Amino acid sequence: MRVPVFVLLLWLAAYPALGQTLILSLAQAEERLAHNREILAGQRALEAARADVVIASQAPNPTLSYSATGINPWTGIGAGPFKDKQVDQTLSMSQLVERGGKRALRLAVAEKRVEAVAADLANTRREQRLMLHQAWYDLLAAEEKLRLLTETAALYEKSEEAARRRLSTGDIAQTDASRLRVEALRAKNDRQAAEAEHKRAQANLAYLIGEEAHAADLATDGRWPSFEVAGSLPDPRNRADVRAAELRVEMAARARELARRLTTRDFTVGAQVERYPPTPGVMWGISLSIPLFLRYGYEGEIARAETEYTIALEARERVLAQAQGEIVRTRADLDAAIERRRRVEAETLPEARRVAEAAEFAYRKGAIGLTDLLDARRTLRAVELEYVATCADYAKARAAWLAATEWEMSPP
């Protein structure tokens, strides 16, 4: 089978070549949430709920029945055409007539379910967007950590080579050369651990955007979000999960009313036409059937509907309380993350870099020993990794605040 050229071109445009890095900005990653499996499942649930509206809006179908009785196996049914056969033939039609507005209530319940499922889908998008932001920032942090540890490993490798040359000329003690060797091996181990962390971050992001086959090619554009002043605490009742809980209360209220209306008796009306030769012509008849609530009056359905309404009320209060707590908690985390990042960025990191540069210069001039140099390098590496961690903590705290409040801030 020949594949059209334009199909191949579209495929090549949609997917990177083997081994080619796929650099995604945060906005581009959000666009690929259309392939998120949880969101797709939510969309299918919404489609099913819309189908339930079609089902609930339909009136009961009439029933058409035919019967032939009075057939004598000994005398037979007589000679002649079918209309002259000695058979009692009856053709009837019956229709269930619903009372008490049950159909309208069923439709109202189904429509509220659609609204609730749509709110669930919006909440799923909110949650998956938060998970995407966190996974994207985890990947960015892993990239920065891998870069720092790669540079550190390269630095110690150069120092180890220089130490071997100086050892051969007697300019350095064997102990110092061994210590540099140990530090170089530790730096390589740290780099390997960072590589494993980087791969895990790629896999997590790839799952969220449906790109598992290209997980090893994913990369970020390397931009942390800028500082922004968070607004005042919003009303949590506007959140999608709270709206969904409120809609389910309304749905349960209508379902409770529908259960109560079950005690309103429906009835079935029917009409029939009967023909029995040799009686000339046909005979007509009508029927009416009404249920008698002698043993059971839908007490179980009513009690269950009342309980489900109470459950919906309690669920709404629980979701609202969780949303309020999440907003307060994420705001506190965001404020703390802002202060930590500012402190490390403005004070700790510049001081550590100055100390490390001074130690490198002094060691080259022979003013300090190897111990002081290694201490300065370790301190700088720890502070640089701490800075990456504070950037990631701020970015994820900012994403959590945005998700908790459903506010939109400017991109990085």
- What total number of domains does the chain contain? 1
In a domain, 367, yes or no: yes
Q: Give the DSSP per-residue string, 150-207.
A: HHHHHHHHHHHHHHHHHHHHTSS-HHHHHHHHHHHHHHHHHHHHHHHHHHHHHHHHHH
List the structure tokens of 226.
Answer: 């800028």
What string of pLDDT tens digits covers the 412 residues of the chain? 444 544 444 444 444 444 578 899 999 999 999 999 999 999 999 999 999 999 999 999 999 999 988 777 766 666 667 666 678 889 999 999 999 999 999 999 999 999 999 999 999 999 999 999 999 999 999 999 999 999 888 887 887 777 777 677 766 678 777 887 888 888 899 999 999 999 999 999 999 999 999 999 999 998 998 876 666 777 888 889 999 999 999 999 999 999 999 999 999 999 999 987 777 778 899 999 999 999 999 999 999 999 999 999 999 999 999 999 999 999 999 999 999 999 998 999 999 999 989 988 887 887 887 778 888 888 889 899 999 999 999 999 999 998 998 754 434 3
d(C-alpha 36, C-alpha 132), whole Å: 10
d(C-alpha 187, C-alpha 158), whole Å: 12
Give the up-direction half-sphere exposure of residue 356: CA atoms within 13 A in the CB hemisphere. Answer: 18
In a domain, 412, yes or no: no
In a domain, 359, yes or no: yes
Task: Give me the pLDDT at residue 313, please.
Answer: 97
Task: Give me the pLDDT at residue 19, please.
Answer: 54
Task: Give me the pLDDT at residue 10, please.
Answer: 43
Q: Which phi and psi (to 5°) does residue 275 adopt?
A: -135, 130
In a domain, 303, yes or no: yes
Query: Under a CB-based contact definition with an 8 Å cutoff, are residues 123 and 48 in contact?
Result: no
Q: Give the DSSP per-residue string, 226-277.
A: PP----PPPPGGGSHHHHHHHHHHHHHHHHHHHHHHTTSPPEEEEEEEEE-T
Q: State in Å, rounded, how far the first CA of the chain is from the last one.
A: 47
Task: Give me the pLDDT at residue 155, please.
Answer: 84
In a domain, 86, yes or no: no
Per the structure, the complete domain to which residue 189 belongs is given by 29-59+98-263+298-405
Query: Under a CB-based contact definition with an 8 Å cutoff, are residues 195 and 145 in contact?
Result: no
Q: Which phi and psi (to 5°) does residue 227 adopt?
A: -70, 135
In a domain, 279, yes or no: no
Bridge partners, residue 274, by sequence: 90, 283
Least Cα distance to 323 among 269, 249, 257, 244 occurs for: 244
Pairing of strands 63-69, 88-97: antiparallel
Strands (E), 33-150: 63-69, 88-97
| pTM, two decimal places | 0.81
d(C-alpha 286, C-alpha 271), whole Å: 4
CATH code, 326: 1.20.1600.10
In a domain, 153, yes or no: yes
In a domain, 128, yes or no: yes
List the structure tokens of 276.
Answer: 């029995």
